[in-house]
Chain A
Amino acid sequence: MNTGGAARRGISPGDCGANGVGPGACGLYTAIGEVNLHAALQAAKTMQERGTFGAGILLRGCYPKRKNYFAFHVLFRNREVARELEPLFTEEKVGMRHYGEMEPLVDAEMYRKYDLPEMRRYFMIPPGQDVMLRRKHTDNEYEYVRRVVEEYNQTHMGQSRIFSSGKDVGNFLTALTLEDTIRAFNLYQYESAPLTAIMAHMRWPTSIVDTGVWWGAHPISFLNSAVVHNGDLSSAQSNRQGLEAAGVERMVGTDSEAILLEVDDLVTRRGFSMREVEWVMCQKFPKELSALEQDERRDYLKMVGDPILSRYKMSGPSSFIAIVGDKVIAGRDRDGLRQLWMGRSDDGKTVIWGSEEKVIYQTAWMVEKRFRAINCEPGKLVAFELSGEGKIKDLYGETLAPRNAEMPI
C-alpha cells in the first residue's frame, strides 16, 4: 500500500479518531437465543479484514451470579484520573452503592503491552425508592440509573465514561483488533455463563464527534439497551433535532446512538407497535404508499406527519441491530445501501445477523446446525422478543420462522 501522502499528513493505516479515518468498514455480528460464545467470536473474526482496528463485544447474561446488580464498566483516561474519580463509585458518591470485591476487568499484562486507558468494573445497587424520589424525582430504578449514567458521562466527558451499565450485561470495548480485545478482557471466561445474546462490532466508528475519550465506540449501550450500526446517516442532524424536541437526552451524540434512542423512545416510552416503528424510521416510498389500504395510509400519514416523528426518519446508508429491553430489532435503510444478513437455525432457537453472509456459514459450521439465511429486506424491520432464559418469540417482520411450526397442511 502506498501511504506516502497519508503518512506526510500524519495518517497511518492503523490511525483513527483525531488523526484521520482508518481503512475498512464496520462489521456487525449479533446472535440471540441459544448462542455459543466460541462460535460467535470465531465467526466475527472472519470479518477482521474489514474491521481492522477497534472491536466491541456485548454479552447478555454474562454475570449470572450478580444479575441483580448494575454492572458498571468504567473507563478512565489514565491511572491518575482513575485514582481521582474511583471514590465516586466506591464511596457511594454517584448516588448508588458499590457491592462486592474489586476485580480487575482487564488483564494487567495488556496494560504493559498496549497504551490502554484504565478500565474498571463496579457492581452497583440503586438506593431505596424514597431516596431515588428525593434525588432524581423517580421511583423507577432503570430511569434512576439512566440519569446517574447520563450525569456522570456529561460531567466527566473527556476524562471518564461509563460504557456499560446494564443488569447481567457486559460491554467490552477496545481500539485493538478483535483477537486482542478478547485477550484483554479474557472473554472466554464467560463461555460457561448462560448467554442469551452476543453482539459484536468491528472497526472504530468514524463519525465520532471530538468530545471525550472512546466516545461513540460500538456497541453503544446504556443499561440493558444496546445498538450496533453500520453506515452514515445523512439524517443525523435531523434525528438529533427530533430527539431534542422529544426531550430525550443524548449521551454520545452520534447518528448510531440516535437509532438506539429513537427505538427506545418509540418502543419503551411511547409504546408503539413494531409496524409503527417501521413506519416512523423507514418511511415509505410514494409507490409503497399508494399500495397501502386507505385506512392504513391515513394512519401512516398522520403518524409521519407529526413534527417530531417526521424527524425520526432514517435516511442514508445504514444497517443496525438494537436491543431495547427484551426486544431485539434489526433493520436496513430503505434504499438498501448496506447489507444485513440474517440467519435462523432450523430448530428456530438461534437467530444471527451479520454484515456478511459468511459469518452465518461460519457459525453454522461451528455449532453444527442448519441455518436459513437471507439478506434483510430494505426499509423493513424484523423484531424478536428475548426472554431471560434465551427463548425467542417472533414479533414482527420476516423472522424466518421454522417451516414446521407454521406448516398449514
Chain B
Amino acid sequence: MTTAMETNSTLRLDSREIVYDRPLKVGIGQMGGPYKVTVDPDKCVWCFTCVYQCTHNISDKARKTGVFEGVTVFLDEKKRRLPATAAEGAFLRQELRIMDLDCCNCKRCVAMCPTNAITVDHSPNWDVIGTPENNATVIFQNLSRSEGKKMTSSMQEYSQPPDYEDFHIDASIILNPQRDNRNEFAGQLSHCYLGKHPERRHRVHLPVFDSHMSYGSNSHEAMLARILASVELGRPFFAGEGYLHPDFAPAFKHCILQFGTGGFGPWVDLDQFLGISMKYGQDAKKGKGGKLPAPKNDWEIALIRCIEPYRDVNSPNPQHLQYSIEELRMRIASLRAALGPNKLVGADIYGTIWNIQHIVVALARAGFDYITLRGGGGGTGAASITDLQNRGLNTLYIGKLAHDALVEEGLRESVSLIGEGSFLNPKMALMGLMVGYDFVGTGTRHLIPLGCTMCRRCHTGQCAWGITSRPWGHRIDPEEGALRIVNMMKSWKRGMEGLAAGLGFTTHGDVVGSRMFRYHGKNPLLYEAFGKGPF
C-alpha cells in the first residue's frame, strides 16, 4: 500500500480504520458468530498478514478472503466516496474489515500477527444467553442448523469432561532400583512387538501409535510429517483408507494400509507395505462409513483413490458388507496367499458392547495379527455432531471386555490389541495398556504439533494451518513438524515410563493387563469394572 502511495504522488492518505462488519442477514442472523475478533488499532501496522492467513469463509464461499478483508476506499475533498477508478487527486482511506461470523477460533491470525495486535475470544453475547438447559451450545447449534450448515462438526465437542480424571493409579509398590541402571531402567516401554506370531511380529519402539487417517483427509505435508515421525520413532505408520501418495514409496515398508468398504486405491505394490488393516467398523462415525467431503476430493486425491473428483466420497455403511464372521478364516487365508506369509494382517473394529467379546474372539480365532478397538471418545472431521455426543462406550471398558474374553479363551497371546479413542495424555495411555491393550493409538494428538487448535473445521477443507486443507499444506514444514511430533511422543514415553516404574514394572509385557488402578467416579459401568476388587 505504501508503495502505491509513493509512486502516485497525487494520492493522499486520509485515514486508516478498523471496521467490524455485521453479517448481511436479517433477524437473529445478525448476531454473528460465537467468537469475537478484535484488533488493537494502536498495535496494528497495516501489514495485512491476517488477511492472507485467514482461510475461513464457509458462510459465503464467493468471498475471496476469510474473516479479514483489506479494503481501500477513495474519497474526494469532502470525504465523499468516489468510484475505485477515480484516482487522480483522491484521498485514500484504508480499512481492515473484520467479519467474525466465520471465525472458528483457530488462532492462525493471532499466531502470525507480527505485533500481537489480534485477540480472539468468546463472544460475550453468546456466552450470556439462554437457560441452563437451552444454553448457548443448544441455541448456537440449532441456529447453525437453521442456516443450512452441515452438522458434520469436526472433532468432538465435549459436553462434559472425560471420565479419566476419576481414575487413580496405584503407586504403592516399592520402587525397584535396577542393578544395571546405566543400560536398563525401570518401566522401559521401548521393547514391544506388534503381532504375536514369531515370524510375522514387528518390533516397535513405542507403545503409542498414530491412528489411521487417510491421505486426503490430511494434506500432503501433514501426512509426510506424520510418516517421518513414525519412522523416526520406530513404529508402524497406519495409513487410512485412501492408499498413499507415490512420493511416500520409500516409507511404504513402515506403513500399514487400510482396506475399507470404499475400496479406494489402485491396490498395487501391496507387497511393499508392512501389512494391511481390514476396516470392519469405524468409531468416528459410529457405525457409519467414512466420508471425504467434495472440496477435499481434488484431482490428485481422485487419481490416487481411482474415483471421480470433486464429489462427496463415502465408504459405504455398513462395513459388515465385506465380512461375515464365518468367512473370516478364509479371508485371512486368501490375504496371506496374496500378500505373502510375513505381512501383518489386522482388523479394525468399533467397540460395541453387547457382542464385543464374541467379535474379538472370532477375529483372534481367524488368525488376525492385531485387532484395533475403537472406543467412544474418538472422532474425526467427518463425524456428525449427534453421533459424537452420543458417543460409544469408554475405551478402557471395551478394552477390559476384550482382554478378559481373549484370556478366557486362551487366545490372548496369539493376537495384539490396539486401543483407540481419546487417549489424551501419557497417564491415559498407560491406563490403556494396563487395561489390556498392547498398544494405544491417538490421532488428534499427533496433529497438535502441526498446529491443530481444535477449531473443528476439518470437513471444510479450509484449515488455515494446512493440516486438513490441501491448498494450504505448504504452511507446514514436514521436517519441523516431524521433529515436534517425535519430541512430543518421546515426552509421552518418558511420562508413561515414569508411572510404570512407580508401579514396579520393568517391561512392556509387565504393564499390559496389570490393572493397578481404581475408578472412583460416578460412571456406574466403570465403577463396576474398575472400582471394586483388589488392585
Across-interface contacts of A347 in B (CB, < 8 A): none
Across-interface contacts of B414 in A (CB, < 8 A): 307
CB < 8 Å: which of A232, A285, A308, A311 contacts B179?
Answer: A285
Known: A315-B505, A335-B176. A307 touches B534 (CB 8 A): no
A316 and B413 contact, CB distance less than 8 A: no
Across-interface contacts of A235 in B (CB, < 8 A): 504-506, 510
Consensus secondary structure, chain A interface: loop
B180 and A287 contact, CB distance less than 8 A: yes
Among residues 234 to 258 in chain A, which have CB atoms less than 8 Å away from a CB atom of chain B? 234-238, 241-242, 244-245, 247
B507 interfacial contact with A, CB 8 Å? yes
A167 interfacial contact with B, CB 8 Å? no
CB < 8 Å: which of B179, B183, B505 contacts A234?
Answer: B505
Residue of A nearest to B173 (CB): A234
A245 and B407 contact, CB distance less than 8 A: yes
B509 and A311 contact, CB distance less than 8 A: yes
The CA-CA distance from A313 to B176 in the complex, in Å, is 15
Known: A232-B174, A315-B505. A237 touches B515 (CB 8 A): yes
B413 and A307 contact, CB distance less than 8 A: yes
The CA-CA distance from A378 to B178 in the complex, in Å, is 12
A336 interfacial contact with B, CB 8 Å? yes
The CA-CA distance from A80 to B407 in the complex, in Å, is 38
A306 and B505 contact, CB distance less than 8 A: no
The CA-CA distance from A247 to B180 in the complex, in Å, is 34
A336 and B179 contact, CB distance less than 8 A: yes
Most buried by A among B178, B193, B412: B412
Classify chain B: how many residues form its interface, as a range: 20 to 34
Known: A234-B505, A285-B184, A313-B507. A307 touches B176 (CB 8 A): no
A310 interfacial contact with B, CB 8 Å? yes
Residue of B nearest to A379 (CB): B179
Known: A234-B173, A237-B514. A245 touches B413 (CB 8 A): yes
Residue of A nearest to B180 (CB): A285
Across-interface contacts of A286 in B (CB, < 8 A): 180, 183-184
CB < 8 Å: which of B176, B193, B410, B509 contacts A316?
Answer: B176
Classify chain A: how many residues form its interface, as a range: 20 to 34
Smallest distance from the beta carbon of A127 to chain B beta carbons, Å?
29
B509 and A313 contact, CB distance less than 8 A: yes
B29 interfacial contact with A, CB 8 Å? no
A237 and B179 contact, CB distance less than 8 A: no
The CA-CA distance from A209 to B534 in the complex, in Å, is 7
A13 interfacial contact with B, CB 8 Å? no
B306 interfacial contact with A, CB 8 Å? no
CB < 8 Å: which of A241, A306, A317 contacts B198?
Answer: A306
A334 interfacial contact with B, CB 8 Å? yes
Among residues 478 to 535 in chain B, which have CB atoms less than 8 Å away from a CB atom of chain A? 503-507, 509-516, 534
A244 and B510 contact, CB distance less than 8 A: no
B27 interfacial contact with A, CB 8 Å? no
A238 and B513 contact, CB distance less than 8 A: yes
Across-interface contacts of A337 in B (CB, < 8 A): 176-177
Across-interface contacts of B513 in A (CB, < 8 A): 237-238, 241
Interface string of B412-424 (1 = CB under 8 A from A): 1110000000000
Known: A232-B173, A238-B513, A244-B407. A316 touches B180 (CB 8 A): no
Known: A234-B173, A307-B196, A335-B178. A316 touches B504 (CB 8 A): yes
Among residues 154 to 183 in chain B, which have CB atoms less than 8 Å away from a CB atom of chain A? 173-174, 176-180, 183
Smallest distance from the beta carbon of A181 to chain B beta carbons, Å?
27
B173 and A316 contact, CB distance less than 8 A: yes
Smallest distance from the beta carbon of A230 to chain B beta carbons, Å?
14
Most buried by A among B176, B410, B512: B176
A241 and B177 contact, CB distance less than 8 A: no
Residue of A nearest to B434 (CB): A237
A-B contact pairs, 22 of them (CB 8 A): A234-B173, A234-B176, A234-B506, A237-B516, A238-B509, A238-B512, A241-B513, A285-B178, A285-B180, A285-B183, A286-B180, A286-B184, A305-B193, A305-B198, A306-B198, A311-B413, A313-B509, A315-B506, A317-B176, A334-B179, A335-B178, A336-B179
